[in-house]
A and B are shown apart, each in its own frame.
Chain A
Amino acid sequence: MTTTIATTPSMSAATPWIRRIPLVVVLMLIPMAAINLVAFILPVARLAMISFIESRSGGVLTDTFTLENYIDFFTDSFSVELISNSLLLGFIVTLATLICAYPIALFLHRVSPRWRNFLFVITISPLLVSSVVRTYGWMVLLGDQGVVNGLLMSAGIIQTPVRLVNNSLGVYIGMVEVLIPYMALSLIAGFGRLDMVFEEAAASLGANSWTRFRRVILPLTMPGIALGCLLCFVLAISSFITPKLLGGGRVFLLATEIYDQAVIQLEWPSAAATSVIVLIIFGLALALYSRVVKRFD
């Protein structure tokens, strides 16, 4: 007998008597649109506008259009230092986070389901703890009288405390810890394609464990790595709380500069211009990411 495997053609979800009422749609979207307008569209538009306005001291805004804020930024050697500090922080922290989060993600991917759920929650739970609290924890750990120095001194490895906070090192350590959950989440999402059979196939073809990692696991997990790196880079160069507290006012980055200009110096046009520079770096990182992703697809 001839049998045809028939599947029901998928129907567009909208049911007819519903599709005729666009008014309902409008009503459902209005509250969200209002929030978006007031707290997103208008602010971003105003930020862009103010970055082109002449700056007066004390937060007074004029109506004069000027490119001065941008010219000032790029002619100031301090700005160049800010950008290079931020980019360096972004790159180093992203790389270190990847190195730390990759084993965690791989472990979570392979551990038995019974443990996976629990460890997954443990891995992402720091996300739900205020970054101020976590940074404070690092100040306690890394301070001159902190836990790490205390342990090292009582072990006789060092005689005087090592400077671990109020410098770039402290910021780097704190940032890596803050970003590990984000990186791990991205990696796990990208590990979906990583099936044990590929490794078994590679092993049956004679690949040792290092070769299997390099030739099978790594390429398959590349999309997750790219996504995680983008996310962490973007979060690192715009992070503010951790650099501010662990840097102790001695680490100068774009993000801390925006805050200082806006809240302490009340130089809003300069702060706006710096923000636009940060957004441009964001755009470049995103463009680089999409190129990398295209290569691996």
Chain B
Amino acid sequence: MIGRMSLPFRMLVALLYIFLLAPILIVLPLSFSNDAYLTFPPQSWGLRWYAAMFRHQGLMEALWVSLGVAATVTILGLAAGVPAAFAIRRYEFTGRDFILNLFTAPLLLPSIVLGLAILLVFVQARLLGTYTGLVIAHLIVTTPYVIRIMLTAFSTLPPSVEEAATMLGAPPFTVFRRVTLPLMMPGFVASAALSFLLSFDEVVISLFITGPRMRTLPVEIFDYVESQTDPMTAAVSVVLVVATLLIIFLIERTLGLSKTVGKS
């Protein structure tokens, strides 16, 4: 039969999915280990490492830094990216394509190179290990996605509705506020969620520009994993994965993730 999928093919795909999800799923049982060292399967079970996680001062401080940076980056990224995308989509001006390519170019640069490059500028500007520095560096990672998603959102705007509002007597700003903006909502939510996750998970660039006083959660985890392998990282990972899945689930429920992310 054409297009029918044979059993061996289905089993192969199932195995590949297990491979894909294994490292994420394995941390769940491990996080409930009560062992002092990393053993699998754990000899004893309990919430010891969750408790340890909440008592770990460095980790908790880094968590708050990461949440703060991600929230700031999300807000500023939308504030900068949405008008830029709107201008690029709606107005014709010379150099428009160049501007768009320039704004989305950071996507193409490997983060190890971008991290070093930002380090070299920030060291002069005294932005290393500062909140401001982290926010600026993360913005360059998130804004290309904001612009891409918003461009898609603007282009899926139903045709003529803005003109219809104009004909009914709405001045340009009112058209934007009453018609354009509400119809952009899915794009905003997708941009905001992705910005937050990208910033919250960002690790390579952060490794270059965080200092001993100001560390983000991924950097803290990275250092922790590099120096010791005990099940506490599993507990942290479970919390992060659950939080991420929750966000994905909420977006999928309200908007359809494949609709908002898949198109961009």
Residue B149 is within 8 A (CB to CB) of chain A in the complex: no
Among candidates A29, A40, A125, residue contacting B83 with C-beta atoms closer than 8 Å: A29
Least distance between B258 CB and chain A CB atoms (Å): 5
Interface size of B as a range:
35 or more
Q: What is the distance, in angstroms, from A45's C-beta to the closest C-beta of chain B? A: 9
Residues on B with C-beta less than 8 A from A143 are 38, 229
User: What residues of B have a CB within 8 angstroms of the CB of A39 in the complex?
Assistant: 106, 118, 136-137, 139-140
Which of A69-77, A218-226, A234-242, A288-296 is found at the contact surface with chain B? A234-242
What's the minimum C-beta distance from A117 to chain B, rounded to whole angstroms? 6
* Chain B: CB-nearest residue to A21: B91
Q: In the assembled complex, how far is the CB of residue B223 from the closest CB belonging to chain A, in whole angstroms? A: 10
Is B13 within 8 A of A103, CB to CB? yes
Residues on B with C-beta less than 8 A from A27 are 83
Within 8 A of B (CB), among A34-52: 34-36, 38-44, 46-47, 50
Q: Separation in Å of the A221 CB from the closest CB of chain B?
A: 15
- Check: B197 CB closer than 8 A to any chain A CB: yes
- Kindly list chain A residues whose C-beta atoms are within 8 Å of the C-beta of B87: 24-25, 28-29
81-117 of chain B: CB within 8 A of chain A:
81, 83-84, 86-87, 89-93, 99, 102-103, 105-106, 108-114, 116-117
**B143-182 near A? 1/0 per residue, CB < 8 Å:** 1000100000000000000010010000010000000000
B36 interface hit (Cβ, 8 Å): no
In the complex, the answer to whether A137 meets B23 with C-beta atoms within 8 Å is yes
Given A39-B118, A46-B117, A121-B257, CB of A128 within 8 Å of CB of B139: no
> Which chain B positions have C-beta within 8 A of A22?
91, 93
Q: Is the CB of A203 within 8 A of B2?
A: yes
Of the candidate stretches B46-54, B55-63, B184-192, B202-210, the one touching chain A is: B202-210
Query: A165-203: contact bitstring with B at CB < 8 Å (1 yes, 0 no)?
Result: 000000000100100110000000000000010011001
Q: Which of B21, B112, B139, B221 contacts A258 (CB 8 A)?
A: B112
Question: Of the candidates B40, B84, B110, B139, which one forms a contact with A29 in the assembled complex, judged by CB atoms under 8 Å apart?
Answer: B84
Partner of A262, one of B2, B116, B147, B248: B116
Residues in A with CB closer than 8 Å to B92 are 12, 14, 19
How many contacting A-B pairs (Cβ < 8 A)? 258
Which residue in B90, B116, B236, B248 is a CB contact (below 8 Å) of A18?
B90
A–B Cβ pairs within 8 angstroms, 9 of them: A31-B84, A32-B81, A40-B140, A125-B248, A131-B203, A140-B40, A150-B41, A255-B110, A262-B119
Known: A59-B123, A238-B112, A278-B113. 20 other contacts (CB 8 A): A24-B87, A32-B80, A32-B83, A32-B103, A35-B143, A36-B102, A43-B117, A43-B120, A47-B120, A104-B13, A125-B244, A129-B241, A133-B27, A136-B233, A140-B26, A145-B39, A196-B2, A238-B110, A275-B112, A275-B113
Residues on A lying within 8 angstroms of B by beta carbon are: 12-15, 17-19, 22, 24-25, 27-29, 31-36, 38-44, 46-47, 50, 59, 100-101, 103-104, 107, 110-111, 117, 120-126, 128-141, 143, 145-147, 150, 174, 177, 180-181, 196, 199-200, 203, 212, 234-235, 238-241, 244-245, 255, 258-259, 262-263, 268, 271-272, 275, 278-279, 282
